[in-house]
Chain A
């Protein structure tokens, strides 16, 4: 709605994965979740189980198509720009759907979602274990959550690392902006914290790990990482004079927060697995407090990750082809944009608060009681 110039320019290419997402994934998700929720006793058990698997497959497909669309914005492939209409045209749907960027982004996003799911299970289980309620159920649930979070957390880091090397070759400015590295360096160090100016001035204080940025970007401790000023110089020649720098403090900190929050969640899972080893139930209050509040970590990590990848692409909407400033709707007034922004912020804020409150209530009730042996299996009542 806000991006008509963008829509007109990219619709030929970008619209295809979106329409495929709706037709192949959304219909699958929405129809089969309805069948699952309302299908108890109506469908044979195996078929009923299949419906939730189909919904889950739909969800994963949905992520693939939307990331294929986003990856095209990060690294456009399989297109040409029509010299007459000055709009992009699709030349290969296969290239678009097998873009190296989406092949790396999809597992990264899916695995990060597993970390979120794992941490939610950990937090709910911790709440009950800390109160000694239903310890049998929740110790098992906790172990599953911990194992999933640890495995998915490590795998998210590995896939993120693969993405970093793609980014170094496809969007060197984003890599440089992630570190606020102004001058091309070999080897390049990675700073954990920097106090001082991130806008190119002299830093006051920082904690640095030598060789790490070179390793992340190139797999070689002495590899060359291009600096912001050097990339800017090259882009001025390629795209014409202008500024091709993203907002460096935002990219610098969002990159660190993504990694930091993700690593904390993974570390928490590792500690939890140790504390729950051999049928143990942890005693330490600090662990439960960390596990309950830790549910925020993966949400903060994924949010930071999206802020990083989208802000790191600036000033482009489609890298190298169209800037954000060129993308907006010429006919939409600033007041309309302010109205919609305000409405959506308030609406989603209110819905988030209600959903949070309902979730807490739901969590406190605990797990449904287990059936007496021989009694009919109690089934969940899902009813509007």
Chain B
């Protein structure tokens, strides 16, 4: 295996980390208003991802940075080619991030309701568009001889791309519902689990159709195996959710996302961005990659620091492993403290706020 292929796999791993982790963040954002009955419910839900959502987003930044360093031509064609789609994703992620920070800074029902709507939009749009983007990357996009994208935003909204978008939307929602059922107790936990089973009715057929369509057009034997395993993991996860085994259910949807990314990247290789105009114009692992020295330097950096990152992010999840309940949320704040977030009030014992 040469270094360029090593980096192709590493970028696949970074996107796997991103979709597995940010996937449930999106799911929580999508379900925020649908699952909650009152403000305390919403705060319990947001606080399940409170300590981790920003660290989860860095997986995307790192994937983008790794693409830039290891495959500059891939980065150049993709980021300029998918311009408006990525603009929408960026705006959604920016808005979603500040929503979490701003929503509890003012004690007003309308203020919070507006930010909650923005959280929903900021979670749904990227959840759909990531599927659209990756489906189109695998399918191929119009690239000319200079590897310049010659389509527009509508080019990406073909049936396969839209199917991909529905798959990521439903899978992230399912993943988020199962995550919530794993992270909270009480009636909200049961509601999350039942919602997961409902979402699964859409997610399973959509994912099966997408994987089948992908394997028929772009498959190879190795990815037939990963696609099959993804389907098994998804069904296993749903079955575990049905039986109330939330840990196994979460492992199932996480494995589904990881195996789906493995399938898509496996189908893509040795291309990184196939041209639908002419196969000769495709960007590949070899023609898009950086020179040897850059890859050597970056490989050392990645080999040393990726395990460290995994270590401390894993530790964060361990620190915040305790399930949340409504009693963990401090009583409605006074206007003074709500505007600061620094109320100086006594924290409830064991409260994770």
Chain A 368-384: CB-based contact to B (< 8 A → 1; otherwise 0): 11000000101111111
Are A35 and B87 within 8 A (Cβ)? Answer: no
The CA-CA distance from A354 to B115 in the complex, in Å, is: 12
| A23 and B62 within 8 A (CB) | yes
- B319's partner among A11, A35, A380 (CB-CB below 8 A) is A35
Interface residue stretch chosen among A83-91, A104-112, A213-221: A83-91
Closest chain-B Cβ to A151's Cβ sits at a distance in Å of 27
- Interface class of chain A by DSSP: helix
Q: Which of A31-61 contact B (CB under 8 A)?
A: 31-35, 37-43
- Measured CB to CB, the nearest residue on chain A to B350 is A41
Q: Total contacts A to B, CB within 8 angstroms?
A: 236
Q: Is the CB of B66 within 8 A of A11?
A: no
The interface stretch among A122-130, A296-304, A325-333 is A325-333
Interface hits, B65-89 → A, CB 8 Å: 65-66, 68-73, 75-77, 79-81, 83-84, 86-87
Q: Is the CB of B80 within 8 A of A1?
A: yes
B341's partner among A82, A378, A381 (CB-CB below 8 A) is A381
Chain B residue with the shortest CB-CB distance to A348 = B94
Please, which residues of chain B bring their CB within 8 A of the CB of A361?
A: 105-106, 339-340
Assembled-state Cα–Cα distance A339/B340 (Å): 35
Which residue of A5, A30, A91 contacts B54 across the interface (Cβ within 8 Å)? A30
Among B86, B95, B301, B342, residue most surrounded by chain A Cβ atoms (within 10 Å) = B342
B277 at the interface (CB under 8 A from A): no
Q: Which residues of A contact B51 (CB under 8 A)?
A: 34-35, 37-39
Q: Which chain B residues (308-349) contact chain A, with CB distance < 8 Å?
A: 309, 312-313, 316, 319-320, 329-330, 333, 336-337, 339-347, 349
Q: How far is the CA of A10 from the CA of B347 in the complex (A)?
A: 51
Which residues on the B side are within 8 Å of A22 (C-beta)? Answer: 58, 61-62, 64-66
* Chain-A contact segment, one of B156-164, B191-199, B266-274, B292-300: B292-300
- Please give, as numbers and ranges, the residues of chain B lying within 8 Å of A13 by CB-CB distance: 294
What's the dominant secondary structure at chain B's contact region?
helix
- Indicate if A207 sits at the interface (CB-CB under 8 A): no
Give per-residue flags for B205-248: 1 if the beta carbon is below 8 A from chain A beta carbons, else 0: 00000000000000000000000000000000000000000000
**Contact of A234 with B by CB under 8 A:** no
Hey, what's the 0/1 contact readout for A80-102 against B, CB within 8 Å counting as 1? 00100001011101000000000
Minimum CB distance partner of A31 in chain B: B55
Q: Is the CB of A12 within 8 A of B290?
A: yes
Q: How far is the CA of A18 from the CA of B70 in the complex (A)?
A: 11
- Give A236 to B352 CA distance when docked, in angstroms: 65
Given contacts A11-B73, A18-B65, whether A23 and B313 have CB atoms under 8 Å apart is no
Contact B94 A347 (CB under 8 A): yes
A378 (CB) vs chain B CBs: closest residue = B344
Complex Cα–Cα for A332 and B284 (A): 22
Chain A residues with Cβ below 8 Å from B320 are: 38, 42
Q: Which of A38, A82, A369, A379 has the most CB of B within 10 A?
A: A38
> How close is A367's CB to chain B, nearest CB, in angstroms?
9
A residues less than 8 Å from B312 (CB atoms): 27-28, 31-32
Q: Closest approach, in angstroms, between the C-beta of A70 and any C-beta of chain B? A: 15
**A40's contact among B57, B76, B77, B347, by CB below 8 Å, is which?**
B347
Residue among A3, A15, A376 with max Cβ neighbours from chain B (10 Å): A15
With A11-B71, A90-B293 known, 6 other A-B pairs at CB within 8 A are A15-B68, A16-B298, A19-B65, A24-B301, A27-B312, A384-B47
**Can you list 13 residue pairs at the A/B interface with Cβ under 8 Å?**
A1-B80, A15-B72, A26-B61, A27-B55, A30-B58, A34-B316, A35-B319, A39-B51, A41-B349, A361-B106, A365-B337, A376-B346, A380-B343
4 closest pairs, A vs B, by CB? Answer: A11-B72, A15-B69, A368-B344, A383-B353
